[in-house]
Every structure is written in structure tokens, then in C-alpha cells.
């Protein structure tokens, strides 16, 4: 029970990696609040977790809206008085090239993937700095390797990577005892990857991209959300007490190329 009596918040928790993160933290003893803009999926996930005997509560949350962050964090403050772990996981992806990506889509992706992390870190510190804790910002392997079919996504996740370093340094200088790290999953089997908003790509372009990526993973398969959840547990727990401002890559060796 490595997370016994810890209070955790996971965004984008209704499905995929976020649900796996919430489940793993709760299994290890945490009281987990998980959020999502998908209220129907979130309520279903909440019922599933509670039926398994886990302490988990769902809150609807548009992570791109500051008012929603303040509401969610105030709910946790009233219920628990503190926050020990924040996992900024919510994100979206649209497959496009630099020539076909619209300004509207670029702004939308940065708002959900990057601005949300800024808001979570900015306002989450108030609940964390008294006792310390861990912030885990979910970036992507595309923040390290880049991806020609996802310029906006790659840019947003690269922003998450270096925002995390800046917040880590700030917390260290202030003596908050809050560790801040970025997590970089590779290609993971999730609803986001499966449904994959194809944007302006043709079916042939999308298939060619998926074939290329699949052939470049040294372990010859995509990862699972549970395999990434183990990394989240490590960064959330006291086992990573001397780790801050760095990247943890979970990609089956993809970045070795």
C-alpha cells in the first residue's frame, strides 16, 4: 500500500491511461478524485472503481477552464484539506501535418494539453505546498522525438516537458517539498489512439503513419495503460523522493531511434 492515505487528483480519468492511473493509485491506498469532461464515462468509471472496493470519486472538469480548476480544487480542499498527488493527464490529439493544421485546431490542442497543465500546477500548489507531494505531468514521446503527423500535439507536449522543469525549480527554491516530473508514454493502446481524430489525413496517410510507427517500436508492440500506471505509481510514491524536474520515458524503446 504505497499510497496509503494519500489524496490524489487525476485529470482525464474516465478512460484509457487516466482510468488506469486512478485504479492503480486507489489500489495502493490513495483516495482518488478523477476528472473528465466526459461525464457519462466518468460516472461509469466511478461505479466500476467503487464496486471494486476502491476509494474514488468523479468530478466533471473542463481542464482548459480556470473556473473549473478552482471549483475542483475547492471541492478537494473542503473534502480532504490537502492534495498529495496531482496527475495532469487530460489531453487530445488530431492527426495533421504543419501544412494542414488549422489555427483553430492548434489553439484547441494547446489549450487542452498545455494550458490545462499550467492551470493545474498554478492552482494545485496551494493545496500541496504545506505538506509537499508529487506533480506528474503527462507529456509524450513526441516531446522528445517529434512526429510529422502531429505538429500541434508535439508542440503542446514539449511545452509540458519544460513547464514541468520550471515548476520543479520554483518548488525547490521555495522549499515546498513538491516534486514535479514529466511522464512520456510512447504509443499506448487507449481509446484516444484507437479512435484517433484523423483531422485532414486521408485513410491511406493514416494507415501509413501507423505502420511506420509500429515498425519503429523495438519491443514490437504498443504498450498498455497498466504498464504506464506503474510509472505513475513510482513518481507518486515516496520511492521517487529524490527525483524532480526530469522525464520518465515509457515507450518500449521507441526513443532509441
Q: What is the pLDDT along the chain (257 residues), one digit of tens a residue?
A: 999 999 999 999 999 999 999 999 999 999 999 999 999 999 999 999 999 999 999 999 999 999 999 999 999 999 999 999 999 999 999 989 999 999 999 999 999 999 999 999 999 999 999 999 999 999 999 999 988 999 999 999 999 999 999 999 999 999 999 999 999 999 998 865 555 555 555 666 656 656 666 678 888 888 999 999 999 999 999 999 999 999 999 999 988 87
Query: Do 197 and 153 touch, CB atoms closer than 8 A?
Result: no
Cell of 179: 516534486
Cβ contacts of 68 within 8 Å, gap of 6 or more:
61, 62
Residue 257 located in a structural domain: no
Q: CB-based burial of residue 134 (10 Å sphere; 0-12 exposed, 13-18 middle, 19+ buried)? A: buried
Q: What is the pTM of this model?
A: 0.93
Helix H or strand E segment including 157: helix 151-174
- Confirm whether 157 is domain-assigned: yes
Domain span holding position 194: 7-249
Nearest 10 degrees: CA dihedral of 152, 155, 159, 161? 120
Q: Looking at residue 55, which CATH number applies to its domain?
A: 3.40.50.720
Alpha carbon distance 245, 181 (integer Å): 5
Q: In what order do the strands lie in the sheet with 31-36?
A: 56-60, 31-36, 7-11, 85-88, 133-138, 178-185, 247-250
Nearest Cα residue to 229 out of 4, 26, 46? 26
Note whether residue 255 is domain-resident: no
Number of domains in the chain: 1
Contact between 89 and 21 under an 8 Å Cβ cutoff? The reply is yes
**d(Cα 77, Cα 88) in Å, to the nearest integer?**
18
Please indicate, yes or no, if residue 168 is contained in any of the structural domains.
yes
153 is an active site residue: yes
Domain-embedded: residue 2: no
Of residues 177, 37, 167, the one with CA closest to residue 111: 37
72 vs 33: CA distance, rounded Å: 9
Look at residue 225 and tell me if it is in a domain.
Answer: yes
Which of 153, 176, 187, 254 is the catalytic position? Answer: 153
Amino acid at each position: 500500500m504505497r499510497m496509503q492515505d494519500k489524496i490524489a487528483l487525476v485529470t482525464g480519468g474516465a478512460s484509457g491511461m487516466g482510468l488506469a492511473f486512478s485504479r492503480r493509485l486507489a489500489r495502493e491506498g490513495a483516495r482518488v478524485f478523477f476528472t473528465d469532461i466526459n461525464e457519462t464515462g466518468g460516472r461509469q468509471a466511478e461505479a466500476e472503481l467503487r464496486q471494486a472496493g476502491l476509494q474514488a470519486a468523479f468530478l466533471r472538469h473542463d481542464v482548459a477552464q480556470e473556473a473549473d480548476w478552482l471549483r475542483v480544487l475547492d471541492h478537494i480542499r473542503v473534502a480532504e484539506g490537502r492534495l498529495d498527488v496531482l496527475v495532469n493527464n487530460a489531453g487530445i490529439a488530431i492527426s495533421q501535418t504543419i501544412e494542414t493544421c488549422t489555427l483553430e485546431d492548434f489553439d484547441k490542442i494547446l489549450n487542452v494539453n498545455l494550458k490545462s497543465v499550467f492551470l493545474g500546477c498554478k492552482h494545485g500548489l496551494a493545496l500541496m505546498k504545506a505538506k509537499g507531494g508529487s506533480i506528474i505531468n503527462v507529456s509524450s514521446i513526441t516531446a522528445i522525438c517529434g512526429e510529422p503527423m502531429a505538429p500541434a500535439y508535439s508542440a503542446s507536449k514539449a511545452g509540458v516537458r519544460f513547464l514541468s522543469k520550471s515548476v520543479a525549480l520554483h518548488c525547490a527554491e521555495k522549499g515546498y517539498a513538491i516534486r514535479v516530473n514529466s511522464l512520456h508514454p510512447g504509443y499506448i493502446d487507449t481509446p484516444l489512439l484507437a479512435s484517433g481524430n484523423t483531422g485532414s489525413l486521408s485513410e491511406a496517410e493514416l494507415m501509413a503513419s501507423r505502420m511506420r510507427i509500429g515498425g519503429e517500436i523495438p519491443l514490437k508492440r504498443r504498450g498498455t495503460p497498466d504498464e504506464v500506471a506503474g510509472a505513475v505509481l513510482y513518481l507518486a510514491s515516496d520511492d521517487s523522493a529524490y527525483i524532480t524536474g526530469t522525464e520518465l520515458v515509457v515507450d518500449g524503446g521507441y526513443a532509441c531511434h
